[in-house]
Copies of this chain bind each other. A is one copy, B any other.
Amino acid sequence: MQILKNSTDSATGIIESSYTLSQAQLQKLLLLVQEVCGITATRQLMKKMALALEKFVPCAKALIWIYNPEKESLWTRINKKNFEVPQTESIAGSTIISLNYLYLSDPGQDKNFHKEADTIPGANTGHILCFPMISKENNVIGVLQLMNTKIHPITPIVVNLISEWAGIAANLFTATLKNDAIKNAFDSFVDTISHAMDTRDYILAGHSRRVTLYAMEVAKLMGLSAQEKEVLQYAGLLHDIGKIGVPELILLKDKRPNSDEFQMARQHATLTRELLERVQFPKELEPVIEIAATHHERINGSGYPKGLKGEEIPRGGKILAVCDVFDALSSRRPYADRMPVDEIISILDKEIGESFEPFIVYHFKNISLDRIIQIVEYGHNKGIESEDLEFLKKYTLNDLLNTDSIKSDDQQKIETTFMRYYSRIYRG
């Protein structure tokens, strides 16, 4: 247990008192520990930890700050957004510098008072109590900040117990930060390799990322769960990983190709499966393999490599199939312009119920035009006017194609604005 030095310092409002925690209160503390143990993501732990603190300590609001030693700053989440302050500003920052708890009965008068970080909107600023979170390896992890706390006086037993809580929090955040780091490493490695694979081929540059972005739009419109979206995202990035080409595996195949190219095309979907089967995905990500490996299957069984039909193809595979074809046809090639969007959509429409699942094409056509332009232009960095994006946001691919449904004033503007970007030509 970490006992802070000045626990009887009257200057900070601490006096000796009989405020001791009962067995029942200690059991409550343990119950709160149970609630926050076992969370692996930092943001989620922040949220749960704040709620647990608010239950345990009488206060209007608990804020959890995480310290970034490289940037010498602290960040937290306010209104679902990251909020960052330099360690030289805000009361939490001064706690990081002093490495001691801090009790302020009139924080508004403190020189470190930060009018955004240290205020609860719509409430008077009351007593603030801050504790540094120091891990058992003696690393400074962040600050627990209790806003408008009603604990008064702050007795040594309160200081001991909250600093014990701060120690537990520090250790739990150490684990979530480590977990976030390895998750980031995995995600960025997947993205880097997928992107590097694509850029070996000029035509495919950016293809996997764009297919993934389209798939995320369809997933949003279909109301897929966060878990399904995560799986689809990995599958999108990895669907062409088989193109890394593994000659020894190709040599092991016993089927003779009808034509070299056709066989190579079939091979890449099979190789995607074989490669991904060697990756030890966490259980919840295992469907990535089947989805990535079925992006060339067609619902009437005419696809490859297995000729799967209808329900045999996972929903994610069907989504990737549509996005893959749209991206291939809407990409600029060295030898040809993009295919006009109406032609691409009529190809998709013609194959509804044959190659493609009807409701997936339906949802694809409901993607808003601002997203289509942003994805089509992904990686070109030529800029898109924000008023054009605002305008295009109101319409979908459907609106672009069926302008009858739109009032005549806007008909021309939709097409002109969309084509301003869709027909843009790049050199270099």
A-to-B contact residues, CB < 8 Å: 1, 20-23, 26-27, 29-31, 33-35, 37-40, 135-136, 164, 167-168, 170-175, 178-179, 181-193, 195-197, 199-200, 202, 205, 244-249, 275, 278-283, 285
Contact = CB atoms under 8 A, between A and B. Distances in A.
B246 A199 contact: yes
A26 B26 CA distance: 7
8 contacts: A31-B164, A35-B136, A40-B175, A175-B175, A191-B278, A195-B278, A197-B244, A200-B247
Q: What's the dominant secondary structure at chain A's contact region?
A: helix
Contacts of A39: 175
B23 A199 contact: no
Given A1-B27, A172-B38, A200 B245 contact: yes
A280 B38 contact: no
A171 B40 contact: no
A188 B278 contact: yes
A282 B178 contact: yes
Contact of A26 (B23, B167, B199, B205): B23
A34 B282 contact: no
Contacts of A179: 40, 175, 178-179, 182
A69 to B, nearest CB: 10
Contacts of A199: 246-249
A245 B136 CA distance: 45
Given A34-B171, A37-B175, 13 more contacts: A1-B31, A21-B23, A23-B26, A35-B136, A37-B171, A38-B175, A181-B282, A188-B279, A189-B279, A192-B275, A200-B244, A200-B246, A200-B247
A60 B205 CA distance: 63
